[in-house]
Amino acid sequence: MCLLRYAILLFVITGFASFARAERPNILFILSDDQRFDTIHSLGNAEIQTPNLDKLVERGFVFNNTYCQGGMVAAVCLPSRTMIMTGRSVFHIPKERGNTENSTLGEVMTKAGYATLYAGKKSNSFIAGNEAFGKCVYTDRGVKENAKEDEDSPAAMQPRIMADDAIEFMRADHGGKPMFLMLAPHYPHDPRIAPKKFMDLYDPAKISLSPNFMPQHPFDNGEMNVRDEKLAKRPRDPNEMKRQLADYYACITWLDDQVGRVIDELKQRGQLDNTVIIFTSDQGLAVGGRHGLMGKQNLYEEFKSPLILAGPGIPSGKSDALVYLFDLYPTICGIAGATAPKEVEGRNLQYVMKGEGAGTRDVLFAPYKNVQRMVRNDQWKLIWYPKIDRFQLFDLKNDPWEIKDLSADPAKADQLATMKALLAAEQKKWDDPAEKPK
């Protein structure tokens, strides 16, 4: 009888432990740098090779309209990463990178009982948030802006460093705790270099330019001479733009390869089925001459990021919901069973993936410094350039490449007025201190 009772008790305990593990999955959060939303093969880009991300898309959930909420500095990745780490909107994030006035994602997940790792770049990131993780290692150690541009340079090796750090962490003893890994390398940010076998995959002559390629932007958008725009001469030469894209794609394929190494380690350790994987980027950029531009200092749709979630509890599907990157903070907390701090402004995307309306929004807003403002809904988008009081109005359903500006069309005057009012309302809602459109 004693043996029977012991067996029953053991079954209950181990059964409960298995249930607990299922309820508290590992979370692998991969945040690339400057990766545009349309740079994944299975999401419609036939020219790029991303086999590991394609597998995530196949079994996961994709958000088609994911945005950083802009920034007040040219290095937009800094406010973007700070918003992700704090769950706060652009005008509410800490002004200093070492400021910990808000509970950061790493801190909350550590307190929730997770073994936590940040392995990513230090430059232009939220240092206080990085170092609130249980373990923090920087993948840009030894990397300089003028890094030697060959396949053996520290800049080129960042994806491998990231994967090595992640694998080392996964092999460590965490006392049975679930793991939360945030991998956030300086990649595919320039300088765009990768090992030769990846560079050789892409012949610039065979790369296509987008329908909204332009030799020059049609007017001064207020940020024409920032460093990103100086990476190629103007007017944009089509052949040079194709070379830039070939290098960009090579870097993304190299990153994809190392993401595959991390996922393979999870599989070998029997952890893949109990791991939610999130892949996104801090923002996109216009590399390749979209609208005559190269960088991320604009508010066109090329500013969007990819966003894929896959793993236990994540359905297969897609959504056109309007999403901010800082929505990931409460989403990760929800997946982990942790409580998001009350100051978090993002929305839990689990509701969207379940088909519930609580996580959706009808309008999305973004600023860039004091020179650009944007608002959009499910069809219409308005960009305002306050310094020159110029507007652009786009019908995204019929003109997703934002080629035809309708702001001067008399037939769209009412729609223009509606979007101006919507922009002013969003500026007020998000505490934008700038002037409002008239």
Report angle CA 333, 334, 337 to the nearest 5 degrees: 80
Residue 117 clears pLDDT 80, i.e. is over it: yes
pLDDT digits (tens, 9 = 90+) for 261-283: 999 999 999 999 999 999 999 99
Return the pLDDT at 8. Answer: 41
Cis (ω within 30 of 0) for the bond into 315?
no
pLDDT at position 150, please? Answer: 52
Convert the pLDDT of each residue in 299-358 to its tens digit.
Answer: 999 999 999 999 999 999 999 999 999 999 999 999 999 999 999 999 999 999 998 766
Give the predicted TM-score (pTM) of the model.
0.92
At residue 141, the pLDDT reads 72
Whether the CA torsion 307, 313, 319, 323 is positive or negative: it is: negative
List the structure tokens of 151.
């396949």
* Mean model confidence pLDDT for the chain: 91
The pLDDT confidence band at residue 4, using thresholds 50, 70 and 90, is very low
> Which residue has 């840009």 as its token pair?
140
Pair 79, 369: CB distance under 8 Å: no
Read off the tokens for 261.
């190494």
Q: What is the pLDDT of residue 99?
A: 64
Q: How far is CA 323 from CA 62, 69, 240, 360, 365, in A?
A: 11, 10, 33, 8, 10
Condensed to tens digits (0 to 9), the pLDDT of residues 188-226 reads 999 999 999 999 999 999 999 999 999 999 999 999 999
Tokens in use for 224? 């024409």
pLDDT at 143 exceeding the cut of 70: no
CB under 8 Å, gap of 24 or more: what pairs does 417-420 form?
418/380, 419/375, 419/380, 419/381, 419/382, 419/393, 420/382, 420/384, 420/391
Q: Is the pLDDT of residue 162 over 60?
A: yes
* 123, containing H or E segment: none
Please tell me the distance from the alpha carbon of residue 188 to that of residue 159, in angstroms, as a whole number. Answer: 9
Alpha-carbon distance of 243 to 205, in angstroms, equals 8
What does the pLDDT look like over 353-367, one tens digit per residue? 998 766 679 999 999
What is the pLDDT, as a whole number, of residue 140? 83
